[in-house]
Amino acid sequence: MDAIFNKLRNLDAYPKINEDFYRRTFSGGLITLASSFFMLFLFFSELRMYLHAKTETQLVVDTSRGGELHINFDLSFPAIPCSILSLDAIDISGEQHLDIRHNIIKKRIDHLGTVIEARPDGIGAPKIEKPLQKHGGRLEHNETYCGSCFGAEASDDDCCNSCEEVREAYRKKGWAITNQDLIDQCQREDFIQKVKDEEGEGCNIEGSLEVNKVAGSFHFVPGKSFYQSSFNFLGLLALQTSDYNVSHRINRLAFGNHYDGLVNPLDGVHWEYNEQNVMHQYFVKVVPTIYKNIRGRTVHSNQYSVTEHFKSVEFGSSQSIPGVFFYYDLSPVKVTYTEEHVPFLHFMTHICAIIGGVFSVAGIIDAFIYHGQRKMKKKVEIGKFG
């Protein structure tokens, strides 16, 4: 056993020096103190990096097909009343959504942005009391009401029971309503009076859209629009006869759900115009994004970049109209962000490297200073220094 112990003793890479041979120096104490503080600094830096997750970024080709794109928006128009502000959406496949009203909240605001009234979009019709029928007569007894579309019926069986249905029928025909005072449904709903009551007001419109995951556009315009083919905008129905100021503020515009670190470049953008009838266009490149946090939660969202352009238009033009237009396109590249911790073994490896590395470097510096001082002292003693 003694022979085995002796062999193991000879393998000792850390031979011990008798304490009688130790010599402590002032410079060594300073180096030890400085290296200790440096090791503590590096240790806490490494600990902070270990406790906080790091984010790995990966770019891949987006091979997903189909699906929907969720758009959240909140815009304020200080010079356009809510009664005439409409939202339309159309995509490259030809799917159209004109005068969107579902999932939309409009708030009447004054010139200072103070909310006057908030309501879901849409104008409800009051109780029908002897309105005009399609044949021109009045509703009697238990007769079912079927209002006239005033020449815009697609078939003899079509009925327009509200002002909005008449306007929709005219929009489908591509006609303009020149005088809504002559339309019985609009008189009954006091639509014209509502428009007049909101003169001088602005509108805040917020809500969400569910659109096909293809290139498309949506826009906010003063009036009601109609189309004949994909991306071929023809004009506004003649709801108003004056010019409009499309000054606006984008409080929020997001394509998808929020995740930590997401920045929407249009949030807070404000444009104020001194001129009337401006067409402001935003061209948005949407980048599909997947975010996986450290807890395993996955968020499917989108980032986007944007360029913009605006120009003055002549009121009544059939090709360019005042309003705020957003044209979006999908990037073929998908970004994946993954949060992850540094492995514990890597952390321990780094700690050992810090302690060993600082200790070794400090020893080299101490030895250099110690032996340098001794040589200088000897030269001084023999009178060779200087």
Domain-wise residue ranges, the chain: 22-53+342-382, 61-119+202-339
**Does 199 or 58 have the greater pLDDT score?**
58
The confidence score (pLDDT) of residue 82 equals: 85
Give CA–CA dist 45/25, Å, rounded: 30
Give the mean pLDDT of the chain. Answer: 79
Q: Which residue has the tokens 């790091």?
A: 54
The confidence score (pLDDT) of residue 70 equals: 94
The confidence score (pLDDT) of residue 233 equals: 42
Q: Which residue has the tokens 């290139």?
A: 215
Q: Is the pLDDT of residue 116 over 90?
A: no
Share above pLDDT 90 across residues of the chain, in percent, rounded to a whole number: 24
Give CA–CA dist 184/165, Å, rounded: 12
**Does 242 or 365 have the greater pLDDT score?**
365
pLDDT in tens, 335-359: 999 888 777 888 888 889 988 888 8
The confidence score (pLDDT) of residue 125 equals: 41
Give CA–CA dist 236/241, Å, rounded: 11
The partner residues of 146 in beta bridges, in order of sequence, read none
What is the three-class DSSP state of 240? coil
CA distances from 278 to 224, 241, 257, 328, 336 (A): 17, 16, 31, 20, 39
The confidence score (pLDDT) of residue 238 equals: 38
Give CA–CA dist 352/358, Å, rounded: 10
Give CA–CA dist 77/201, Å, rounded: 9
CB atoms inside a 10 Å sphere around CB 48 = 9
Q: What's the pTM value of the predicted model, to 2 decimals?
A: 0.65
Strands (E), the chain: 54-61, 68-77, 85-91, 96-97, 104-109, 115-120, 202-212, 216-222, 224-229, 232-237, 248-255, 269-271, 278-292, 298-312, 323-330, 333-340
CB within 8 Å of 48: residues ≥ 6 apart: none
Q: What is the mean pLDDT of residues 300-328?
A: 84
Please tell me which of 30-34, 210-214, 320-324, 343-347 the model is most confident about, judged by mean pLDDT: 210-214
Q: Is the pLDDT of residue 119 over 90?
A: no
And the tokens for 323?
A: 């309003």
- The C-alpha angle with vertex 71 and arms to 68 and 74, in degrees rounded to 5, equals 165
Q: What is the mean pLDDT of residues 217-224?
A: 85
- N-terminal to C-terminal alpha carbon distance within the chain: 60
DSSP annotation of 201: -
Q: Is the pLDDT of residue 121 over 80?
A: no
What is the three-class DSSP state of 347? helix
pLDDT tier for residue 74 given thresholds of 50, 70 and 90 = very high
